[in-house]
Structure 1
Amino acid sequence: MSSYDVIVIGAGPGGYVCAIRCAQLGMKVACVEGRETLGGTCLNVGCIPSKAMLHATHMLHEAEHNFATMGLKGKAPSVDWKQMLSYKDDTIAQNTGGIEFLFKKNKVDWLKGWGTIPEAGKVKVGDEVHEAKHIVIASGSEAASLPGVEVDEKTVVTSTGALELGKIPKKLVVIGAGVIGLELGSVYARLGAEVEVVEFLDAITPGMDKEIARQFQKMLTKQGLKFTLGAAVQGVEVKNNKATVTYKLRKDDSEHTMTADTVLVATGRKPYTKGLGLEELGVEMSERGQIKTDGKYATNVAGIYAVGDTIAGPMLAHKAEDEGMAVAEGIAGQHPHVNYGVIPGVIYTHPEVANVGETEETLREQGRKYKVGKFPFMGNARAKANFAGDGFVKILVDATTDRILGAHIIGPMAGDLIHEICVAMEFGAAAEDLARTCHAHPTYSEAVREAALACGDGAIHA
């Protein structure tokens, strides 16, 4: 029986980061993972492969629509689907292999197999039982489905199946207008598929600033995606490799159907904790199946912690990473802190959409007085030169103190630009602080500065 200071269950972003941080802080660490490769859902069947597909299809879009304008003449590229999937798989292999290298570098033991916790202080993997002073659960999440919708990962797929289809579908129906559905819908729309998104709510991207969401939907519609909103899916029937989706419109309860070659179920994710033995241990769970933890990520059972998608909060890889670092540092006797008010969110379509902090809607609900500073990318020289003038930067500040409360960007490189505002918010900066910071010209980031100027006396280039 081997003994460790910490055993982490799950090698996704929360788990592998926690394991490496524990090792850096001088602890003897093991990480349990049953997949053939490390990195969890994110690196294997989520964030990383989907970004590879988004990048490849964006290059196709550029070649088809913008190359000739720039004087790049020639035959438009054709799609070699098998090669595109191979590129995606190579991207996965490079990243998962990188985590394995980091484990070896930091002397983290990889316990290969699926873990269970027979009692506090012990983790069983296969036939072997290992002892640990501390156990961190970072087992992640799995795709959630709907009643009446049976996933076979061939015709009716989750994001996992959507990343390895045998061929490009002529018609794709996406159930759910959240991040996953819109990203993968964009991929297949660029590849020539007819894409229709069915959403239960009356707007896409629930929780997003409504002005951004409306603009985003217009842009996606212009790109060829179709939307059926306010629709409750009743079921999906598969016959002869074709799927029929039945749904009811909430406004009048009328029933409708649509057929597709492939149906992508993108209705969110749920914590994956089965098989860990938590019920037998008496670990407290929420009604949503999340593990209950305190401010230090400890469960009600001494020595057992949980992070990432298994606990409350947004199911984001970077949120899990922050929590993995925090619990490691807490075990080491430090006093870490995760600022949940400054966790960005990004949708990697084109244009990208990014946000952090409050929306106009949440500020109104709080009764808080605020100011808005906006700047369109059409006023940004770099964006215009790169056919990326759609969208804008929007910064929300306290009406009295000018302190930045939130920001929302729809436009080129939004997922990178948002971090300048995250750093500003982390230090309690005002919009004026951002506006008085010199930004290189010509860069997309100048649009952020202009939006900050618009919170005061006004943008220069608007």
Structure 2
Amino acid sequence: MASYDVIIIGGGPGGYVSAIRCAQLGLKTACVEGRETLGGTCLNVGCIPSKALLHASHSYHEATHNFTKMGLMGKSPSIDWKQMLSYKDDVIGQNTKGIEFLFKKNKVDWLKGWGSIPEAGKVKVGDEVHDAKNIVIATGSEAASLPGIEIDEKIVVTSTGALELGKIPKKMVVIGAGVIGLEMGSVYARLGAEVTVVEFMDNVCPGMDLDVSKTFARTLKKQGLKFVMGAAVQSVETNKTKAKVHYKLKKNDKEDMLEADVVLVATGRKPFTDGLGLDALGVALTPRGQVATNDHWATNVPGIYAIGDAIEGPMLAHKAEDEGMAVAEVIAGKKGHVNYGVIPGVVYTAPEVATVGKTEEQLKEEGRAYKIGKFSFMGNGRAKAMFAGDGFVKLLVDAETDRILGGHILGPQAGEMIHEICVAMEFGASAEDIALTCHAHPTCSEAVREAALACGDGAIHA
């Protein structure tokens, strides 16, 4: 039995980052992970492999739709699905091995197996029990389903199964128009599948700025995705090779059905805390089954902390990473901090969508006076040269102080450009601060400056 200052349960983005930071702060640290590789859902069956397929499918789209426009002539490429999956697996391997290397470099012990907490101060892995002055629960989340739907990961799949399909389906139904559903749906649509998205709410990515959401949906429709909005899925029937999705429209109770080769259930995720023994320990949970924590990520049981998807807040890898570093600082006796008002969210479709801070709907609900600065990518030379003129940058700023309250980008490289707005918000900057900052030309980032100018006397290229 080994004794540690900290044992982190879970080797995903929150867990492995927290373990590395704990070790860097001089704490004797171990990380419990039952998978064969580190990195959790994100690196193994989530963020990283999905981005590999998004990149591959986007490259295929460029080759078949835009190459000849640029004078790049020749036979259009064909899809070798087996090789594409192999490429995806290679990307996973490079990343997960990298985490294992970082553990060795920082002297973090990897306790291989599934962990439980038999009592405060002890973590059981397999038949061994280890002492720990502090325990961090970083066990992440799992796919949530709907009543009447049985997941087999072959015909009816979660995001995990969608990354390992035996072949590209001719018809796919995606249940849920959130980030996962739209990303994976766009992958298969680009590769030739007929994709229909069924969503209970009236807009894609519910909670997103409505202006962005509506334009985003129109853009995806132009790319061939079909949408059935305001529809409640009742059940999914399957046989050996096909599925039937039965749904009811909310507006008139009309029932209908869609046939598909594959059904992707993308109805969100839920905390994964099974097997930890939290009930016996008396660890408090929220009504939604999340681990309840205070402002320092501590549970009601002394010495036990929780971070990431297991607790309240957006289920984002980078939110978990921030909490992982912050809780390490707290355990080491320092001041850990996460600014929850400046956590970006990105949808990695083409075009990308990136958001941070308040939406216009939230500001209206708060009764806060605000200004809007908006600039279309059709006015951006670099974007037009890339066949990426769809979309816009939208800044929301305080009407009196000009301080940036939120930023929303639909367009090329949105996931990279959002961080300029994030940094500005972190420093309490005004739109004028961005407007007065020289931006290289020609870049897509100039659209952010133009949106900032639009908050004042007006954009130049609008």
Give the alignment's TM-score, normalised by structure 1: 1.00
Mapping of 1:49-448 within 5 angstroms? 49-448=49-448
3-state SS of the aligned residue for 1:340? coil
Deviation, structure 1 residue 337: 1.1
Deviation, structure 1 residue 338: 0.5
Query: Are 1:6 and 2:13 an aligned pair?
Result: no
Aligned length: 462
- Structure 1 runs (4+) greater than 6 angstroms displaced: none
**Paired amino acid for 2:101:** F
Deviation, structure 1 residue 51: 0.2
1:407 and 1:30 map into 2 onto residues whose CA distance is 38
Deviation, structure 1 residue 240: 2.8
3-state SS of the aligned residue for 2:221? helix
1:420 and 1:246 map into 2 onto residues whose CA distance is 44
1:441 and 1:272 map into 2 onto residues whose CA distance is 47
Deviations 1:345-385, CA, capped at 9 Å, x for gaps: 00000000000000110000000000000011111111111
**Paired amino acid for 2:410:** I
Deviation, structure 1 residue 119: 0.2
1:351 and 1:203 map into 2 onto residues whose CA distance is 17
Deviation, structure 1 residue 287: 1.2
2:235 and 2:294 map into 1 onto residues whose CA distance is 39
Deviations 1:13-57, CA, capped at 9 Å, x for gaps: 000000000000001000000000000000000000000000000
**Paired amino acid for 1:69:** K
Give the alignment's TM-score, normalised by structure 2: 1.00
1:201 and 1:396 map into 2 onto residues whose CA distance is 25
Structure 1: segments with no counterpart, 5+ residues: none
Percent sequence identity over matched residues? 77
2:409 and 2:41 map into 1 onto residues whose CA distance is 27
**Paired amino acid for 1:245:** V
3-state SS of the aligned residue for 1:83? helix
3-state SS of the aligned residue for 2:16? helix
2:389 and 2:249 map into 1 onto residues whose CA distance is 35
1:244 and 1:387 map into 2 onto residues whose CA distance is 37
1:74 and 1:311 map into 2 onto residues whose CA distance is 52
3-state SS of the aligned residue for 2:161? helix
3-state SS of the aligned residue for 2:341? helix
Deviation, structure 1 residue 239: 1.3
1:119 and 1:208 map into 2 onto residues whose CA distance is 41
Deviation, structure 1 residue 254: 1.3
1:459 and 1:258 map into 2 onto residues whose CA distance is 46
3-state SS of the aligned residue for 1:396? strand
Structure 2: segments with no counterpart, 5+ residues: none
3-state SS of the aligned residue for 2:31? strand
Deviations 1:103-137, CA, capped at 9 Å, x for gaps: 00000000000000000000000000000000000
Structure 1 residue aligned with 2:459: 459
